[in-house]
Amino acid sequence: MLLFVGLGNPGRDYAKNRHNIGFMAIDRIARDYSAPPLRQKHQGLASEALIGGERVLLLEPQTYMNESGRSVSEAARFLKIPVNNVVVFHDELDLPPGKVRVKTGGGSAGHNGLKSITAHLGPDYRRVRLGIGHPGDKALVTHYVLGDFAKSEAGWLDELMHVVAANAPLLAKGEDDGFQTKIFKDMSAAGF
């Protein structure tokens, strides 16, 4: 079994924030793989889907970003999911909008959700870094990530969510490099 975690903040006020792109990815995967509605479990909203022939728990922690590790570690421990089967989808300032990189382990690069997960699980989980771009000035970062995506970003954002979900079986099978390559090709073919 795998654990796919989307990072974000709970509540309608945050739903369209750049910081919530992880929740958006999980919502799209849940929809595209006919998962039952997300329900309260493990200090988050959870559901299960069959993706690429693998059972996957989909989780959106409801502990706020800074405490995401509480929810993730509870689910992983309860279901006995090893840390290398935990895949975290999160916003990435250091990548241009619509770009994706996958890596295992590493630091948090100042991302408080990753800091929390690392504090609870260690650093060796898999990360799907979803590019949101950078505002250009470090002083503007908090306002930027907690701001909603602009209407002009809807095209690439919708396409990215589509291709992430469509290629999720590669992640479920542990083919992280293949997933990253396919996302690049699909986004390029769509003109992004």
> Which CATH number covers residue 77?
3.40.50.1470
**Could you give the 3-state DSSP secondary structure of residue 49?**
strand
Is residue 19 flagged as an active site residue?
A: yes
Structural domains of the chain, count: 1
Tens of each residue's pLDDT in the chain, 192 residues: 999 999 999 999 999 999 999 999 999 999 999 999 999 999 999 999 999 999 999 999 999 999 999 999 999 999 999 999 999 999 999 999 999 999 999 999 889 999 999 999 999 999 999 999 999 999 999 999 999 999 999 999 999 999 999 999 999 999 999 999 999 999 999 999
Write out the residue range of the structural domain in which residue 31 sits.
Answer: 2-189
Element (H, E) at 50: strand 44-51
Q: Which residues contact 39 (CB under 8 A, 6 or more apart)?
A: 45, 46, 47
CB 9 within 8 A of CB 44: no
CB 24 within 8 A of CB 9: no
pTM above 0.85, yes or no: yes
Q: Which of 19, 42, 90, 111 is catalytic?
A: 19
Tell me the Cα Rg of the chain. Answer: 15
**Can you give the length of the chain in residues?**
192
